[in-house]
Structure 1
């Protein structure tokens, strides 16, 4: 595949609307445009491109990351909700013709784009919907072997955190049950236009192959979420709403707090509870 790098007009840090080649960052969309070419290239390199040949970039903006993705031997699709950004991409990235999707990633049926094919997901994710993006990737994990991109640093760290730490939580457990999570590097506010008020962090998720949860998935998700809703309490107290029998609640695992359990222990906890769970409540 011929490598192609389209021209890119980086917006002025002081005057993002100084010409017709720039897109105005919109606060309600959580847009912070990356302006550092080296970081964009590093993010593109986080994907292995092994076992798939299609990539979906979320929120490409003016394509600073897109241009480096197009250099890889893969079929790049972008999904963007901002009409102004779509118009910019259509006029500057002719090689993306037919693969620019003006849709809301969270609401759009990605099966219309990829059918049953495998594809990776990447992007500089808006802070205000980043956790929702992760949950959708979890739902579609059978088609997504790899996922990487930029989050608010605190969120990226939480996703990759191990048990026993205060930042470890729902996202950590559910993500690590299905993916190998790795925090890669930190990005300062100064490389964005406009700059956010916090640092950003880039992470990579790689799907665990031949992995079986070995318990009821809906119940597993419910137990993890219910446990961390009262994370300071022991599981014996935080899971009271499940109306479990007293003899089960005397099991030693119920004396622990949720942050003390790794994802494998949450699987074991779900297996213990499963015989007592009411199917209709799962």
Structure 2
């Protein structure tokens, strides 16, 4: 089979270290009883080989036609389970049962978008084990008070328990990226619904981090805060100092103040 050429516009960097691929596959726990794994961007199947050794059913999705052709020839046993499409907008209703696991070496240029899609599917995706740019991986797993703690940290940690597993150097990829990579694991927590309006919660979190240097009293001005809420001690803090629970509480207070107006 002809080797697939990595395409810069797709953010492709093919992993070539088999031991790292094995470690990623071994990090999958089957949390929530999921019996299906969806691998995003399998490329030439370095990780796929080890995912096939697990007990779960495996589906692959890739936006690269050359990779799809390569994978279809390599994995005859996955006929009908290799999807040509974009995870960001593909309709999986007929392909994926609930619940399912997401795995892969995520393209750096769309990794954040992938996680927002996973958030949309959070009632179905029980586990994520993936490799992405180290800086983004650390941000997602970062606790409050850390400078890397941000929007994605709060939104994902509201619904997932997140662990940074290990770092990966550039030289194990072809072509090598200019940055280090990190592997993280997300396990769906027990939160079915937040104790606030979830759409408003997303807006409050994004608004809070809109200007990290400002206190929440200033960064959330556009929410027309009630006078008593403006005086709440949380308003003296910056967004990076608030936990997920703090943001949920703050959102519920904004929701109440709106209802009283």
The two structures share one fold, judged by TM-score above 0.5: yes
Query: What does residue 16 of structure 2 align with?
Result: 35
Instruction: Name which of 100, 114, 138 aligns with 1:133.
Output: 114
Query: What does residue 17 of structure 1 align with?
Result: none
Tell me, what secondary structure is at the counterpart of 1:113?
coil
Query: What does residue 61 of structure 1 align with?
Result: 43
- 1:137-165: CA deviations, max 9, x gaps? 11101001100100100000000001111
Q: Which moved more, 1:241-250 or 1:163-172?
A: 241-250
The alpha-carbon deviation at position 85 of structure 1 amounts to 0.3
Instruction: Name which of 250, 255, 269 aligns with 2:231.
Output: 250
Measure the CA separation in 1 of the matches of 2:166 and 2:191.
Answer: 29
The alpha-carbon deviation at position 52 of structure 1 amounts to 1.2
Figure out how many residues of one structure are paired with residues of the other and give that number.
258
Measure the CA separation in 2 of the matches of 1:202 and 1:81.
Answer: 22
Measure the CA separation in 2 of the matches of 1:155 and 1:167.
Answer: 9
Q: Which moved more, 1:208-217 or 1:246-255?
A: 208-217
The alpha-carbon deviation at position 173 of structure 1 amounts to 0.5
Tell me, what secondary structure is at the counterpart of 2:196?
coil
Q: Do residues 103 (structure 1) and 88 (structure 2) align? A: no
Q: Check the 8 A contact 2:161/2:186 in 1, yes or no.
A: yes
Measure the CA separation in 1 of the matches of 2:192 and 2:145.
Answer: 24
Measure the CA separation in 2 of the matches of 1:56 and 1:77.
Answer: 5
Measure the CA separation in 2 of the matches of 1:24 and 1:140.
Answer: 31
Give 5+ residue unaligned stretches, structure 1: 1-19
**TM-score scaled by structure 1?**
0.89
The alpha-carbon deviation at position 271 of structure 1 amounts to 1.2
The alpha-carbon deviation at position 110 of structure 1 amounts to 2.1
Q: Do residues 225 (structure 1) and 206 (structure 2) align? A: yes
Q: Check the 8 A contact 2:159/2:191 in 1, yes or no.
A: no
Measure the CA separation in 2 of the matches of 1:271 and 1:64.
Answer: 46
Q: List aligned pairs for 1:22-171, cutoff 5 A.
A: 22-50=3-31, 51-115=33-97, 117-171=98-152
Query: What does residue 257 of structure 2 align with?
Result: 276
Measure the CA separation in 2 of the matches of 1:59 and 1:28.
Answer: 14
